[in-house]
């Protein structure tokens, strides 16, 4: 802290001495944190929050909020308005991570520079701006390659981060469950691995004994191997968790209950809607990525059916592929769902862009074929939600805060899930009341009539239920044979 105050005092007094070689050592815990400390460039200014420069494992806990300069780029095929909107969102991400955006720089060029992303001249200009506003870190709106990040830090004299690093830091703050922490750590290590670099005597070779003398290994190689070993362990842990999830999914399927997943842009109100529908206790905060870990609750529908409703992690534009890969086990619940409840902030500045961003992620995880129900939230904050429902057929406007439109939403969810079932007609003998109770329990009863043979009913049932009720179907051809079902499944695979 004394060193930091001295630096700030020198800058306030107009002292132009360069502090390129200054570096504040952050005390870390754990092997991976030690690796990062070892390879952080010696000529950075200070900062780089979370796993990328702050204390702790991705949690921001410092005596001051870092000052950040944001950098965006308008390409020849883009427009300045979209870039400004992306920088606005990056500013919110930085604020959520625990820092303050004090300045922004926007550059127009046909393509990023391979060496420094913005070009050497622009990088020197950004350094002058950073020194003028006394910023700690420069954050770029696009992903930087390891070489670009290394070169920029040499020119800027301070930490250079990209949008991916900021999002990873936020996820590290909000992960609560062992699964969530493992997923975030895996994404961070995959991001860090290609960015390992050595400097000076840190590349000295390891001493050995008999049989180990010779060229040996550099410290960089040792560190890279330690990271890879940790990555393999995390991948194994997540594979085991994925197996547990598949077992849970099979158990839910045996209950004949449908599964629905709440998806949407970050801070659209997904957790608030889950709490409103199921009286859950999911964390609700007015900030980006407040929820990382999935929450599943049982929801009773007006027709008497029960559905498992899961709140999932929010999506965002330019979502890092490291996160998509690491969160595959969590996103399995989206791929296995019978219905996607797509929650959109109806009062947001650009709902269409948010919808496009969410659908692009759904395509990336092979979940774009699942039935989708558009729900425009925050109808109490203006007329935007109601206007959007007129543009998107079959959508619903709700307010998770006040409860307006929730009753209609429950009815629509039930209707959409029933479309995944088939309408059949059965005659159940009078002495098989257990079968009739099973029809009520596993399907939707549409009509019933007493006959001499038994109770004649018309109901909606899924295929697994119809297989057990084949002897009571009025027309046996209504029930798919197990052979055909297996053949269809194999064809789909």
Question: Has residue 115 been placed in a domain?
Answer: yes
pLDDT on residue 169: 87
Mean predicted confidence (pLDDT) in 479-487: 41
Residue with the larger pLDDT of the pair 11 and 134: 134
- Highest averaged pLDDT of the listed ranges 59-68, 131-140, 219-228: 131-140
Mean predicted confidence (pLDDT) in 415-434: 83
Mean predicted confidence (pLDDT) in 245-274: 80
d(CA 257, CA 249): 11
d(CA 266, CA 345): 9
* pLDDT tier at 252, thresholds 50, 70, 90: low
CATH code for position 352? 3.40.50.300
pLDDT on residue 320: 77
pLDDT on residue 139: 94
CATH code for position 164? 3.40.50.11060
34 and 110 co-located in one domain: yes
75 has pLDDT over 70? yes
Lowest mean per-residue pLDDT among 157-166, 238-247, 310-319, 381-390: 238-247
390 and 285 co-located in one domain: yes
293 and 185 co-located in one domain: no
161 and 42 co-located in one domain: yes
3-state secondary structure the chain: CHHHHHHHHHHHCCCCCCCCCCCCCCCCCCHHHHHHHHHCCCCCCCCCCHHHCCCCCCCCCCCCCEEEEEEEEECCCCCHHHHHHHHHHHHHHHHHHCEEEEEEEEEECCCCECCCECCHHHHHHHHHHHHHCCCCEEEECCCCCHHHHHHHHHHHCCEEEEHHHHHHHHHHHHCCCHHHHHHHHHHHHHHHHHHCCCCHHHHCECCCCCCCCCCCCEHHHHHHHHHHHHHHHHHHHHHHHHHHHHHHHHHHHHCCCEEEEEEEECCCCHHHHHHHHHCCCCCCCCCCCCCCCCEEEEEECCCCCEEEEEECCCECCCCCHHHHHHCHHHHHHHHCCCEEEEEEECCCCCHHHHHHHHHHHHHHCCCCCCCEEEEEECHHHCCHHHHHHHHCCCCEECCCCCCCCHHHHHHHHHHHHHCCCEEEEEEEECCCHHHHHHHHHHCEEEEEEECCCEEEEEEEECHHHHHHCHHHECCHHHCCCHHHHHHHHHHHC
Question: Has residue 203 been placed in a domain?
Answer: no
d(CA 400, CA 270): 9
First to last CA, the chain: 60
Give the number of domains in the chain. 3
413 and 427 co-located in one domain: no
d(CA 171, CA 174): 5
- Reference 105, options 118, 92, 89; nearest CA is 118
Q: Which pairs from 243-252 meet CB under 8 Å and 24+ separation?
A: 245/329, 245/332, 245/333, 246/332, 249/332, 249/333, 249/336, 252/308
Residue 254 in contact with residue 308, Cβ under 8 Å? no
* pLDDT tier at 222, thresholds 50, 70, 90: confident
376 and 463 co-located in one domain: no
CATH code for position 468? 3.30.70
Residue with the larger pLDDT of the pair 177 and 26: 177
Question: Has residue 211 been placed in a domain?
Answer: no
* % of the chain with per-residue pLDDT over 70: 74
272 and 316 co-located in one domain: yes
260 and 273 co-located in one domain: yes
8 has pLDDT over 50? no
Lowest mean per-residue pLDDT among 14-18, 63-67, 82-86: 14-18
pLDDT on residue 217: 55
**Residues spanned by the domain of 382:** 256-418
* pLDDT tier at 48, thresholds 50, 70, 90: low
- Reference 165, options 187, 194, 133; nearest CA is 187
* pLDDT tier at 446, thresholds 50, 70, 90: confident
Kindly report, residue by residue over 143-188, the tens digit of the pLDDT: 999 999 999 999 999 989 999 889 888 888 878 778 888 888 888 8
1 has pLDDT over 50? no
428 and 449 co-located in one domain: yes
User: What number of CA atoms fall less than 13 Å from residue 60's CA on the CB side?
Assistant: 22
Question: Has residue 176 been placed in a domain?
Answer: yes
Mean predicted confidence (pLDDT) in 454-473: 78
* % of the chain with per-residue pLDDT over 90: 24
pLDDT on residue 247: 78
Count of C-beta atoms within a 10 Å radius of residue 77? 7
Q: What are residue 368's phi and psi, to 5 degrees?
A: -75, -10
Question: Has residue 268 been placed in a domain?
Answer: yes
Kindly report, residue by residue over 95-139, the tens digit of the pLDDT: 888 889 999 999 999 999 999 999 999 999 999 999 999 998 999
442 has pLDDT over 80? no
29 and 176 co-located in one domain: yes
Question: Has residue 212 been placed in a domain?
Answer: no
- Chain centroid to Cα 83, Å, comes to 22
55 has pLDDT over 70? no
* pLDDT tier at 378, thresholds 50, 70, 90: very high
Question: Has residue 280 been placed in a domain?
Answer: yes
pLDDT on residue 479: 44
Q: In degrees to the nearest 10, what's the CA dihedral of 113, 116, 118, 119?
A: -80
* pLDDT tier at 141, thresholds 50, 70, 90: very high
Average per-residue pLDDT in the chain?
Answer: 77
Q: Which residues are within 8 A (CB) of 167 and not within 5 positions of it... i.e. 6 or more apart? A: 93, 289, 316, 319, 320, 323
d(CA 93, CA 144): 17
Q: What are residue 341's phi and psi, to 5 degrees?
A: -90, 100
354 and 438 co-located in one domain: no
Domain boundary, last residue among 363, 393, 418: 418
Question: Has residue 148 been placed in a domain?
Answer: yes
Domain boundary, last residue among 364, 398, 418: 418
Kindly report, residue by residue over 189-218, the tens digit of the pLDDT: 888 888 877 444 444 444 444 544 445 556
Kindly report, residue by residue over 291-346, the tens digit of the pLDDT: 777 788 888 888 777 888 988 888 888 877 777 777 776 788 888 888 999 999 99
413 has pLDDT over 70? yes
250 has pLDDT over 80? no
d(CA 102, CA 304): 54
Domain boundary, last residue among 398, 418, 438: 418
- Reference 342, options 433, 273, 404; nearest CA is 273
Residue 148 in contact with residue 266, Cβ under 8 Å? no
246 and 261 co-located in one domain: no
- Highest averaged pLDDT of the listed ranges 24-33, 133-142, 238-247, 305-314: 133-142
């Amino acid at each position: 802290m004394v060193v930091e105050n001295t630096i700030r005092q020198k800058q306030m007094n107009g002292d132009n001495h360069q502090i390129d070689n200054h570096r504040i050592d952050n005390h870390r815990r754990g092997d991976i944190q030690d690796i990062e400390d070892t390879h952080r460039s010696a000529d950075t200014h200070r900062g780089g929050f979370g796993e990328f420069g702050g204390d702790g494992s991705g949690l921001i806990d410092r005596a001051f909020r870092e000052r950040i300069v944001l950098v965006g780029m308008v390409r020849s095929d883009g427009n300045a308005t979209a870039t400004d909107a992306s920088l606005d969102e990056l500013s919110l991400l930085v604020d959520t991570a625990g820092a303050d955006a004090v300045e922004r720089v926007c550059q127009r060029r046909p393509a990023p520079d391979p060496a420094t992303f913005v070009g050497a001249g622009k990088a020197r200009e950004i350094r002058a701006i950073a020194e003028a506003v006394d910023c700690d870190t420069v954050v770029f709106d696009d992903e930087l390659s390891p070489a670009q990040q290394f070169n920029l830090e040499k020119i800027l004299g301070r930490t250079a981060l990209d949008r991916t690093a900021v999002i990873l830091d936020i996820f590290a703050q909000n992960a609560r469950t062992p699964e969530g922490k493992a997923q975030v750590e895996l994404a961070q290590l995959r991001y860090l691995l290609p960015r390992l670099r050595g400097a000076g005597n840190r590349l000295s070779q390891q001493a050995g004994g008999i049989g180990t003398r010779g060229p040996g290994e550099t410290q960089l190689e040792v560190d890279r191997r330690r990271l890879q070993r940790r990555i393999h362990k995390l991948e194994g842990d997540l594979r085991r968790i994925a197996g547990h999830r598949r077992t849970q999914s099979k158990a839910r399927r045996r209950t004949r209950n449908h599964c629905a997943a709440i998806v949407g842009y970050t801070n659209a109100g997904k957790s608030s809607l889950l709490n409103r529908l199921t009286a859950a206790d999911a964390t609700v905060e007015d900030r980006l990525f407040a929820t990382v870990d999935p929450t599943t609750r049982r929801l009773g529908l007006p027709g008497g059916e029960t559905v498992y409703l899961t709140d999932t992690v929010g999506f965002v534009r330019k979502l890092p592929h490291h996160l998509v890969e690491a969160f595959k086990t969590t996103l399995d619940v989206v791929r296995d769902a019978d219905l996607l409840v797509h929650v959109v902030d109806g009062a947001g500045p650009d709902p269409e862009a948010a919808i496009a961003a969410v659908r692009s992620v759904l395509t990336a995880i092979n979940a774009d074929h699942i039935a989708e129900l558009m729900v425009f939230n925050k109808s109490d904050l203006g007329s935007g939600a109601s206007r959007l429902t007129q543009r998107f057929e079959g959508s619903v406007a709700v307010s998770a805060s006040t409860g307006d439109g929730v009753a209609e939403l429950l009815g629509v969810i039930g209707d959409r899930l029933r479309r995944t079932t088939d309408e059949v007609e059965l005659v159940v003998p009078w002495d098989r009341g257990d079968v009739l109770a099973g029809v009520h329990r596993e399907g939707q009863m549409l009509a019933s009539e007493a006959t001499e043979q038994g109770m004649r009913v018309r109901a909606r049932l899924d295929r697994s239920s119809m297989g057990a009720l084949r002897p009571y179907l009025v027309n046996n051809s209504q029930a798919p044979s197990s052979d055909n079902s297996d053949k269809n499944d194999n064809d789909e695979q």
